[in-house]
């Protein structure tokens, strides 16, 4: 049996539950915490995105190998005056400085620094002085001699041993038979003569000039000299001075970068009738209105072109 007191409790609970259902108590939110004053965060700086620079590829310019044109050869000597030309001989090309003169209107003379024979400490002059004091329009160094700077020339500096007749009709080394077998060139009014040995020549003073030297490169239009194999002096490349004739023309000049044998071939290619080698190397000098080769060292004699 339910007690009276239990029933009363149940009834009260039912009444209270009905009231709660009809009038619910609003839910309360927990108090919000006041926001703390936190510093405003600085906006993160966004990096500027730069465009990637792609370098322009410049193509490498490979220079085109332009072939160097072969020098134009000219195997015809000048008709008058000075010429610098490339002469082809035996498959090679050689620079040639050459002066031409008509022997009928030009007097070929040889001038000397000494007035008479000299055996040591002999006077020497630059080619320009010989040209100037004779009123010449062209000139070239003359015969081999003994330069003061050569140790082997001690006691005979400035001297030369070969036959020569200068403009004053004086014969040098007339009694010297040591070099009497070397060639010589003789110039007269309107003509020239080349001989194989200077002993073949007398002491005629009626000619304009006489000069002996060696070797004789061209004789009768043909090559007259070929150097021996490995010949130390004439077989080396160098400058080769010459005096030559062709018909009524006389020539003086310098061939560059040639052995003595090659110089003979060059003169043959120029169709010379006769040609005599002159001094060379440090003595090389050629004049035509100024130095065309040289001036080289001072020299004891020179070949000159003077108007008749």
Q: Token pair of 74, please?
A: 């000219």
Confidence of residue 232 (pLDDT cuts 50, 70, 90): confident
157-210 pLDDT per residue, tens:
999 999 999 999 999 998 876 789 999 999 999 999 999 999 999 899 999 999
Of 228 and 72, the one with more pLDDT: 72
The per-residue pLDDT of the chain, averaged, comes to 85
Q: What is the pLDDT of residue 63?
A: 55
216-225 pLDDT per residue, tens:
999 999 999 9
Buried b / exposed e along 139-150 (16+ C-beta atoms within 10 A)? bbbbbbbbbeee
Q: What is the pLDDT of residue 226?
A: 85
Of 2 and 12, the one with more pLDDT: 12
CA 200/CA 21 separation, integer angstroms: 166
From 54-63, 90-99, 232-241, 287-296, the region with the lowest mean pLDDT: 54-63
pLDDT of 76 above 70: yes
Confidence of residue 16 (pLDDT cuts 50, 70, 90): very low
pLDDT of 44 above 60: no
Measured between alpha carbons, how far apart are the two ends of the chain, in Å? 183
CA 240/CA 143 separation, integer angstroms: 12
Q: What is the pLDDT of residue 223?
A: 97
pLDDT of 50 above 60: no
Q: What is the pLDDT of residue 51?
A: 53
Q: What is the pLDDT of residue 292?
A: 98
From 40-44, 112-116, 264-268, 291-295, the region with the lowest mean pLDDT: 40-44
CA 35/CA 233 separation, integer angstroms: 113
Mean pLDDT of 148-156: 95
Residue 140: which of 116, 109, 95 has the closest Cα?
A: 109
CA 148/CA 125 separation, integer angstroms: 13
pLDDT of 56 above 60: no
Tell me the helix, strand and coil percentages in the chain, rounded to 5: 15, 30, 55
% of residues, the chain, pLDDT over 90 = 70
96-151 pLDDT per residue, tens:
999 999 999 999 999 999 999 999 999 999 999 999 999 999 999 999 999 999 99
CA 168/CA 203 separation, integer angstroms: 13
Of 35 and 266, the one with more pLDDT: 266
Mean pLDDT of 56-71: 59
Write the DSSP assignment of 148-213 as a string of letters: TT-GGGTTSTT---S-EE-TT-PEESTT--TTTTS-EEEEETTEEEEES-GGG-----SSSEEEE-
The model carries a pTM of 0.77
| Cα angle 127, 136, 168; round to 5 | 85
CA 128/CA 139 separation, integer angstroms: 8
């Amino acid at each position: 049996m339910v007690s009276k007191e239990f029933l009363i409790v149940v009834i009260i609970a039912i009444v209270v539950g009905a009231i709660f259902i009809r009038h619910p108590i609003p839910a309360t939110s927990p108090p919000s915490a006041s926001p703390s004053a936190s510093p405003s965060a600085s906006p993160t700086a966004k990096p500027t995105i730069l465009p990637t620079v792609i370098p322009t590829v410049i193509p490498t310019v490979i220079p085109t190998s332009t072939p160097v044109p072969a020098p134009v050869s000219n195997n015809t000597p000048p008709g008058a005056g000075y010429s610098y030309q490339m002469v082809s001989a035996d498959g090679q090309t050689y620079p040639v400085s050459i002066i031409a003169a008509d022997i009928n209107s030009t007097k070929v003379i040889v001038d000397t620094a000494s007035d008479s024979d000299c055996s040591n400490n002999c006077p020497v002059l630059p080619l320009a002085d010989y040209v100037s004091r004779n009123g010449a329009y062209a000139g070239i160094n003359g015969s081999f001699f003994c330069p003061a700077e050569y140790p082997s020339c001690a006691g005979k500096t400035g001297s030369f041993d070969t036959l020569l007749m200068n403009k004053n009709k004086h014969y040098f080394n007339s009694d010297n038979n040591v070099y009497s077998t070397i060639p010589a060139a003789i110039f007269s009014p309107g003509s020239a003569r080349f001989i194989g040995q200077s002993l073949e020549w007398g002491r005629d003073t009626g000619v304009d000039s006489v000069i002996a030297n060696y070797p004789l490169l061209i004789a009768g239009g043909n090559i007259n000299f070929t150097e021996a194999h490995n010949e130390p002096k004439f077989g080396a490349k160098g400058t080769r001075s010459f005096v030559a004739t062709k018909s009524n023309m006389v020539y003086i000049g310098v061939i560059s970068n040639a052995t003595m044998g090659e110089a003979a071939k060059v003169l043959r290619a120029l169709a010379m009738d006769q040609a005599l080698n002159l001094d060379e190397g440090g003595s090389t000098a050629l004049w035509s209105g100024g130095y065309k080769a040289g001036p080289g060292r001072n020299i004891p004699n020179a070949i000159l072109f003077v108007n008749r």
